[in-house]
Amino acid sequence: MDISKRIQIKHSNITEYESSVTSPVNIAVIKYWGKRNSELILPTNSSLSCTLSQDHLNTKTTIRASPKFNTDRLWLNGVEEKISASTRLTNCINKARELRKQLENALEDQEENTSEKPLSKWKIHIASENNFPTAAGLASSASGYAALVQALANLYELPLNQTELSKIARIGSGSACRSMFGGFVAWRAGVDPNGEDSYAECVAPESHWPDLHALILVVSDAKKGTSSTSGMSTTVKTSELFPMRIEKVVPERMKKMEEAIKNRDFNSFAILTMKDSNQFHSVCLDTYPPIFYMNDISRGIVHLVHAFNEQKDSTTGKPLGIRAAYTFDAGPNAVIYAEKQHIRELVRIFMHFFPPATTQPASTYFPDPFGVLQSESD
Ligand code: DP6
């Protein structure tokens, strides 16, 4: 998260305040899917993600508060949107304003009372831009709400730490709470009906495993067919596999994943990541009516990663081991986790089998470049 303090802008006889924040996306390796309370956005299970470097995929949000603004306004990627159309957005803004108001009451803050109204009463203009496809399963709501909440916190100078702020980001979009931290981040589901113990925390900083890289394979930048919000709500209502995932699988996986990260154990990290992605998409398929987020190209990528991981050393015949892991969110795009020394080779292989703007027929998306899978089934 790129945080800078708010700035003060003085022109003619008025003072305005502005804050700007750039926030990164996070990609879950143990997926959040399902809510126990959809208003407060309380999840059915804990989840864990890696926050990506914000040099690549990010949301930049600038908020200006001015005594001369008449209404709150929002521009998303340059297009004006109605703030009132989104309850989640208004919930986040209202929460931040309420906290600002408490601060003003407590401090009897004179500083900004230069106009007739205190800052909590000023209207705001928000401009938010993603540098990647919005709503294509690339975690745009995560970086979007994280940037919004951090920018509001800076604007209002709220004395809250990242964990506290993660609870506000959570009411915007569940996965956003994890983007309030860099590195490896757990969202603890919690048990409190009011969500006081449902927050994100950093389990290891980015510097703990600098060699771990993420490769984003944009299969499609089209807006997804079923939003995460409606998809997970139908899953909770209809999937018979879902309770098993929540009760039996995820709690154990969270522990194992934290252990794998602590030990920089790529083998365990990768297996858990791939299995969790597969199980998330299985409960989507078990949802009625079923939800399909992955397409033929996504499945081809899965196949290719397994083939890569099954490769043997050409001279010794020894297995080279698991060197890449795929994961898919609510869309067909793949995120590949791998250690730095394998990235170049992986890029070469993906570019070879899935050249940009490919027109290959679906059947050729199931390559067996190393002859491994074929020879095993023969
Ligand atoms: C598949 O956070 O977008 O990416 O809380 O309804 O806004 P809402 O859902 P959202 O869901 C993300 C789901 C996921 C998995 C994950 O990021 O953990």
- Measured from the Cα of 232, ligand 1's closest atom is 6
ipTM of the complex: 0.99
Instruction: Tell the residue nearest (CA) to atom 5 of ligand 1.
Output: 174
Quote the pLDDT of residue 5: 83
Q: Which of 180, 185, 177, 176 is nearest to 206 (CA)?
A: 185
238: CA distance to ligand 1 center in Å?
Answer: 18
- Measured from the Cα of 137, ligand 1's closest atom is 4
Using CA atoms in the order 78, 82, 88, 94, what is the torsion angle rounded to 10 degrees?
100
pLDDT band, residue 141 (cuts 50/70/90): confident
Instruction: Tell the residue nearest (CA) to atom 1 of ligand 1.
Output: 329
Cβ of 31 below 6 Å from ligand 1? yes
7 CB-near residues (< 8 Å, 6+ apart): 17, 18, 19
85: CA distance to ligand 1 center in Å?
Answer: 20
Q: Each residue of 29-51: pLDDT tens digit? A: 999 999 999 999 999 999 999 99
Substitution site in 25, 27, 29, 32 for ligand 1 pocket (most atoms within 8 Å of beta carbon): 32
- Measured from the Cα of 173, ligand 1's closest atom is 7
First-last CA distance in the chain: 50
Instruction: Tell the residue nearest (CA) to atom 7 of ligand 1.
Output: 173
Q: Each residue of 174-231: pLDDT tens digit? A: 999 999 999 999 999 999 999 999 999 999 999 999 999 999 998 887 766 889 999 9
Q: Output the pTM of the full model.
A: 0.91
Cβ of 228 below 6 Å from ligand 1? yes
Range name among 30-39, 51-60, 335-344 with the lowest pLDDT average:
51-60
66 beta partners: 123
Please, where are the H alpha helices in 79-161? 87-107, 140-155
Read off the tokens for 377: 């089934």
Read off the tokens for 219: 């299969």
Cβ of 41 below 6 Å from ligand 1? yes
348: CA distance to ligand 1 center in Å?
Answer: 30
Q: Each residue of 73-113: pLDDT tens digit? A: 999 999 999 999 999 999 999 999 999 999 999 877 555 55
Cβ of 175 below 6 Å from ligand 1? yes
